[in-house]
Amino acid sequence: MSATELTDAESELRKRQGAGARYDAAAAPHAELAFARRGTAYFARKLSELSDDDLDAPSLLPGWSRRHVIAHVGYNARALTHLTEWARTGIETPMYASADARDRQLARGETLPARALRNLFDHAAVHLNVEWRDLTDEQWDVEVKTAQGRTVPVRETAWMRSREVWVHAVDLANDGSFLDFPPELVDRLIADVLGTWQRRGESVDLALTPNDRPRLADHGRIVLGTGGPVVSGAAADLARWLTGRGARRLSASSGELPDIPRWF
């Protein structure tokens, strides 16, 4: 389908849906919203593959069960909804009342009955999506503050949610894979990790060679700091390692993979 045919199809769909339907504003971060929505569907699919008894099993995150991951992802949607409400209403609404309140909320969430835990994920995701679609062009640029204290335009919430749902879908530990991720998302995740290290002032001397991304950087290599061991592999496998989800199918010029800082 050509771009013109796609535009015509969308126009016809909007006519059928009527004036009451919600759509993203023209100035919304469309690519990131698409990542977030596809990631929500991916997480939902991996969650649906698990029985209620499966939820008690460990996740890929040390000390966290699958219940913990599901509660975290559900409450993350609620927290990001607070930021979109802040942008829409002008009333400051932090993601969490405090770090302690966040921890207590999560501790309660992982004890919910399985059905309530699944509903938490579903309902919170729908609410966040509605809030995104209620933002005007101007409101997408309103500045809000993240739980880490960064001041960002509210459009950043779309990317924050994207990385949350995709990466934590893998953390459910039921065959979710970074290889399932859209290539553009993988590239953004790699850039996100490197940007996080830079903002924190982490000193990392390393070179990355994503062998399926020859145009990602000069000569297909990303050099950090003064350079150092060269770690090579598919971009998806590099993203997995950089985000702290373990190493698969990677090689290092030093023989062993170097230690790297945490992502979050």
CATH number of the domain that 209 lies in? 3.30.1050.20
pTM, whole model, 2 decimals? 0.90
Residues 127 and 219 in one domain: no
> Are 127 and 53 members of one domain?
yes
Q: Is residue 13 part of a domain?
A: no
Q: Stretch 140-144: mean pLDDT, rounded? A: 98
Nearby residues of 229 by Cβ (< 8 Å), 6 or more positions away: 206, 207, 252, 253, 254, 257, 258
Do residue 72 and residue 136 come from a single domain? yes
User: pLDDT (tens digit, 9 = 90+) per residue, 204-257?
Assistant: 999 999 999 876 555 568 999 999 999 999 999 999 999 999 999 999 999 999
- Domain co-membership, 51 together with 134: yes
pLDDT tens for each residue of 162-202: 999 999 999 999 999 999 999 999 999 999 999 999 999 99
Task: Give the confidence band of 3 by pLDDT, cuts at 50, 70, 90.
Answer: very low
Query: What integer pLDDT is reported at residue 92 of this predicted model?
Result: 96
96-139: per-residue pLDDT in tens?
999 999 999 999 999 999 999 999 999 999 999 999 999 999 99
Residue 6 confidence (pLDDT): 47
Question: Both 108 and 239 in a single domain?
Answer: no
Residues 202, 150 share a domain:
no
**How many structural domains is the chain composed of?**
2
> Is 15 inside any structural domain?
no
Residues 32 and 126 in one domain: yes
Amino acid 221: pLDDT:
84
The reply to whether 37 and 154 lie within a common domain is yes
Percent of the chain whose predicted confidence (pLDDT) is above 70: 90
Q: Quick check: is 119 in a domain?
A: yes
What's 140's DSSP letter?
A: G
Whether the per-residue pLDDT at 58 is higher than 80: the answer is yes
pLDDT of residue 262: 95
User: Nearest-CA neighbor of 171 among 259, 258, 96, 73?
Assistant: 73
Q: Are residues 138 and 242 in the same domain?
A: no
User: Could you tell me if residue 259 is inside a domain?
Assistant: no
Is there a single domain that holds both residue 135 and residue 236? no
73 is a domain residue? yes
Output the CA–CA distances (angstroms, integers) from residue 207 to 25, 50, 117, 145, 200, in the order listed: 39, 38, 41, 32, 19
147: containing domain: 28-177
57 plus 167 within the same structural domain:
yes
* pLDDT at res. 39: 98
Distance, in Å, from the CA atom of 249 to the CA atom of 260, rounded to the nearest integer, reads 17
